[in-house]
Amino acid sequence: MIGRLALPDGSDRRPAVLIAHEGNGLDEFQKTRADRFAELGYVAFALDYHGGGRPLTDRVRINERLDRLSNDPPFARRVAAAGLAVLLDQSRSDPARVVAVGYCFGGSLVLELARTGADLKAVVGFHPGLYDRRDDSSAIRGAVLVCVAKHSFTNPNIDALGIDALAYNARADQQSWRAMLDLFDDVLKT
């Protein structure tokens, strides 16, 4: 499993967060998300759910990969579970205090992981695709927070693409981040 592991200072066990990137892949900006969580005291693993360790640049390849994941929930769940296994294999990860966060299709991916019954205290999707899988949703064990505004509202680099359907929104980004941290404070109490 290729990804970015970021560790907080110290040597003690810490809450752990699995991070799933936006649709294009695990680019440099997405890797900084793991670093940001580590600075807050989390063991963080940003998985590369496309594989290969490099973001995809061809829209056709991106859409083919996302279609495969969205149309094959068992496959998507196995990919997410593999990332979770890497995170839980870290000696500093506290397996009793694990959360998952995803952006864009990554939000959909962590929701699929939650539908497996994985022991996640919370799952957070930022501008995820939402699929009607209510029959599987009864397996979700933790809290769910879904933050939706104009797509990719959490990525300050997105406007450079010039795609009308995508736009950064600093206010929504800050509010949703705060909502996520408040949720984590609630569910990760020891």
Distance between first and last Cα of the chain = 30
Distances (CA, A) of 28 to 23, 48, 49, 54, 133: 14, 12, 15, 9, 32
pLDDT given at position 1: 65
Rg for the chain, CA atoms, rounded: 15
pLDDT along the chain (190 residues), means of 10: 92 97 92 97 96 87 92 95 97 98 96 96 94 86 95 92 92 97 92
The full set of domains in the chain, from first to last, is 3-187 (3.40.50.1820)
Q: How buried is residue 19: exposed, middle or buried, by Cβ count under 10 Å (0-12/13-18/19+)?
A: buried
pLDDT of residue 190: 62
